[in-house]
A and B are shown apart, each in its own frame.
Chain A
Amino acid sequence: MAAIDQSKIRNFCIVAHIDHGKSTLADRIIEKTGLLTSREMQAQVLDNMDLERERGITIKAQSVRTVYKAKDGEEYIFNLIDTPGHVDFNYEVSRSLAACDGAILVVDAAQGIEAQTLANVYLALDHNLDVFPVINKIDLPSAEPERVMEEIEDVIGLEAHDAPLISAKNGIGIEDVLEQIVEKIPAPKGNPDNPLQALIFDSVYDSYKGVIIFCRIMEGTVKKGTVIRMMATGAKEEVVEVGYFGAGQFIPCDELSAGMVGYITASIKNVKDTAVGDTVTDANRPCANPLPGYKKVQSMVYCGMYPADGAKYPDLRDALEKLQLNDASLNYEPETSIALGFGFRCGFLGLLHLEIIQERLEREYNLDLVTTAPGVIYKIHKTNGEVIELTNPSNMPDPSEIEYMEEPIVSAEIMVTTEFIGSIMELCQERRGRYLGMEYIEGTRALLKYELPLNEIIYDFFDALKSRSRGYASFDYDLKGYEQSSLVKLDILINREEVDALSFIVHADSAYERGRKMCEKLKDEIPRHLFEIPIQAAVGGKIIARETVKAMRKDVLAKCYGGDITRKKKLLEKQKEGKKRMRQIGNVEIPQKAFMSVLKLDDKK
Chain B
Amino acid sequence: MIRSKQDCRTLELKPLELYLHIPFCVRKCRYCDFLSGPADVCTQDAYMEALLEELKGRSEECAEYEVDTIFIGGGTPSVVKPEWIQKVMDTIRRYYQLSPEAEITMEMNPGTVDREGLEIYCRAGINRLSIGLQSANEEELLKLGRIHTFAQFQKTYRDAVDVGFTNINVDVMSALPEQTVESWRRTLEAVLTLDPIPQHISAYSLIVEEGTPLYDMQERGTLILPDEDSERQMYTLTEELLGQYGFRRYEISNYAREGYECRHNCGYWRRREYLGLGTGAASLMKECRFTNGTGLEEYLMNPLGMRSEVQYLTEEEQMEEFMFLGLRMMEGVSEKTFREAFGRELMEVYDSVIRKNVQDGLLEITRGEPAFYRLTHRGIDLSNYVMSQFLF
Asked if A565 and B282 make an inter-chain contact with CB atoms under 8 angstroms apart, the answer reads: yes
Least Cβ–Cβ distance between A262 and chain B, in angstroms? 56
Residues of A participating in the B interface, judged by any CB pair closer than 8 Å: 530, 552-566, 568-569, 571-573, 575-576, 579
* 0/1 string, B291-331, CB within 8 A of A gives 1: 10000000000000000010100000000110011001000
Asked if A572 and B328 make an inter-chain contact with CB atoms under 8 angstroms apart, the answer reads: no
Asked if A563 and B389 make an inter-chain contact with CB atoms under 8 angstroms apart, the answer reads: no
Question: Which of A553, A566, A573 is B381 in contact with, Cβ under 8 Å?
Answer: A553
Highest count of chain B CB atoms <10 Å: which of A556, A561, A564, A573 = A556
Least Cβ–Cβ distance between A16 and chain B, in angstroms? 43
* 0/1 string, B358-392, CB within 8 A of A gives 1: 00100000000000000000001111110111010
Which residues on the A side are within 8 Å of B228 (C-beta)? 553-554
Q: State A37–B34 Cα separation when bound (angstroms).
A: 70
Residues of B participating in the A interface, judged by any CB pair closer than 8 Å: 19, 21, 34, 71, 73, 204-205, 207, 228, 231-232, 235, 252-253, 268, 274, 276, 281-284, 289, 291, 309, 311, 320-321, 324-325, 328, 360, 380-385, 387-389, 391
Chain B, residue nearest A564 (CB): B282
3 nearest interchain CB pairs?
Answer: A575-B388, A558-B204, A572-B388
Instruction: Decide yes or no: A562 and B73 within 8 Å by CB, A530-B360, A569-B320, A573-B391 being known contacts.
Output: yes
Which residues on the B side are within 8 Å of A530 (C-beta)? 360, 382
Instruction: Decide yes or no: A576 and B391 within 8 Å by CB, A554-B232, A565-B289 being known contacts.
Output: yes
Least Cβ–Cβ distance between B285 and chain A, in angstroms? 11
Question: Which of B291, B328, B384 is A575 in contact with, Cβ under 8 Å?
Answer: B384
Question: Which of A555, A565, A569 is B382 in contact with, Cβ under 8 Å?
Answer: A555
Given A563-B284, A569-B324, A576-B389, 20 more A-B residue pairs with CB atoms under 8 Å apart are A552-B382, A553-B228, A554-B235, A554-B381, A556-B252, A556-B380, A556-B384, A557-B252, A558-B205, A559-B204, A559-B207, A559-B253, A562-B73, A566-B289, A566-B291, A569-B320, A572-B388, A573-B388, A575-B388, A579-B388
Asked if B324 and A568 make an inter-chain contact with CB atoms under 8 angstroms apart, the answer reads: yes
Some 11 contacts from A to B, beta carbons below 8 A apart, are A553-B381, A554-B228, A554-B232, A556-B380, A558-B205, A563-B276, A566-B289, A566-B291, A569-B324, A573-B391, A576-B389
Which residues on the A side are within 8 Å of B389 (C-beta)? 576
Instruction: Decide yes or no: A556 and B382 within 8 Å by CB, A562-B19, A566-B309 being known contacts.
Output: yes
Asked if B232 and A572 make an inter-chain contact with CB atoms under 8 angstroms apart, the answer reads: no
Chain A, residue nearest B389 (CB): A576
Highest count of chain B CB atoms <10 Å: which of A562, A569, A579 = A562
Which residues on the B side are within 8 Å of A553 (C-beta)? 228, 232, 381
Q: State A568–B73 Cα separation when bound (angstroms).
A: 18
Least Cβ–Cβ distance between A375 and chain B, in angstroms? 36
Question: Which of A555, A557, A563, A575 is B207 in contact with, Cβ under 8 Å?
Answer: A557
Which residues on the A side are within 8 Å of B388 (C-beta)? 572-573, 575-576, 579
Chain A, residue nearest B275 (CB): A563
Least Cβ–Cβ distance between B348 and chain A, in angstroms? 21
Q: State A172–B66 Cα separation when bound (angstroms).
A: 80
Asked if B204 and A563 make an inter-chain contact with CB atoms under 8 angstroms apart, the answer reads: no
Asked if B385 and A575 make an inter-chain contact with CB atoms under 8 angstroms apart, the answer reads: yes
Which residues on the B side are within 8 Å of A558 (C-beta)? 204-205, 207, 252-253
Asked if B382 and A563 make an inter-chain contact with CB atoms under 8 angstroms apart, the answer reads: no
